[in-house]
Structure 1
């Protein structure tokens, strides 16, 4: 049976999704359109429409439906209910060509009918990019950043900040601010270094905002609170959506997307979110090129964005450090962020012995290179060290 040819994309005028036929413009290749029927009676077309869409959001229908009979499009985020893994639907050209799920087993998984009977669409990369991140420890993250709320001047943005920090990926508890160890001060190169960097950024920003010239320039509590949000948000996705080993170079752009697309209970007006997003994506300043010398991020475009860039630079200097607040140290101990890896918890002999006793679940985990699945399969055979 032939696959239905169908595309979807976000309208450029209101951001709503629309499905239909993908139409290009030969006179302007940067523009894209979706044409669709919206009045069909007795098999006859009475009306149709063509709308301009955001090109990067164009997604093709895979021809596959999930367990709930929902159509699966390229860019959808799906969860494999068999093991709880989450991945995104991509077009793949490798050992085969076609649609696949990326990251479900830390690899690309080819479409298999039996597998997709156990797959459920839970979002898409444009509306909910954070779904690809591990964001289970929400209350702990709120607790860690709670002390920063004392400097906020508006309850509305303070509540928004509190909701948003809960959506930061959990790896913020474990990554240093410099994942290579080459940059930032010694404290920020340790465990929890990214949290320390956020605190130092916030401290510098608040000291500067207390100066009369800056209070006169950034003259509303709402603007100043938006700037305070950036102290944490600018590096919220520092290691990418899926937690790469090292800093993802375009993380300022990812942070901006995260701000624009994440919706929380205490949301704020879009104009404030856009202000925060723009400060995030320009916070690296002149260091905005990739290894090939291509510009991949904007430089600061106004005084506010330069202000944020300067705060980031000052809080990243190897020769400037700060005493960490005692309350932060107490909180980090209290939330038990000293998580140990399997190798730290058990001896090599214990792990080998457990593998010899375990069943095919362990073999499947090893075959799929799924670390969490392996630990879960071994837990009944391991004694806590």
Structure 2
């Protein structure tokens, strides 16, 4: 049973400004009612329970109000249309038709069905409206033609005063529409460049100058011969070392046969950018035992070595571009010399020397 409480107050006509007398009837229960979800109830206020203050003979008819306690928050709406094309965004908002609350939760961003990011959110309310705003922290560009989805997981948002009435999984789908190509994820160095195994293959490391993270299904593969036979597939690890992100694949001393070559493959989507625009690596390969690519020049005299205060290159092929960059990816030298022998003066540090498209080598310079 509920107790009826009358509250009279002076109002004002919004159009004429005329003052009016208004009243409201409040049904107050002795104890807070937590009604079971999914059930329908009818609130009944008996006839003649309330009278006009200025005319006591004017009373109410019987009032009957039926309502159902929902089992969940129902369907959501969003500030963009589901399935639309979106070039970039810095936030997205989900709405429900009731006031909502939540603790701090995590929304999940998917790229082609694969989870790639998590973003914090906290649900709030505003007069019969609930909302969860997912703030990306910056504008993110969405690659053209790629399918994305942002998900508010089931049970992370609840109705005000009823934490047992929660949301169904809410997923907003959209297609990337950013026209210009986004930069791919490429390693800048591989341990095979200066470590050439002949009989067994152990751990191989790939170095990246940008923040990356592993996908939900990361893998690195070792292929034999003409890439028709996969020898071994391993789950890589990822660490941050001295400002670089290092992908390590341990092939556990897999025996190598000298008759045919081997190739290590990092498949598409093994790595995902950890911040900024959402991109994944394209398929990358490196040959085992021929990582320097010197033989591709057909020049046994080719030499790359550190000298005091620089790098000496001898036996260079003609019309070949020479690029030297630091481990941060910054290019410090890029020329196509006419001479077969070149010395590049450099400060102390580690550098990556690239000769054409075939040779990459890490060199440590000291003065």
TM-score clears 0.5: no
TM-score grouping bracket, smaller chain normalisation? under 0.3
More strand as a share of residues: 2
Structure of greater Rg: 2
Length-normalised TM-score, structure 2: 0.21
Length-normalised TM-score, structure 1: 0.20
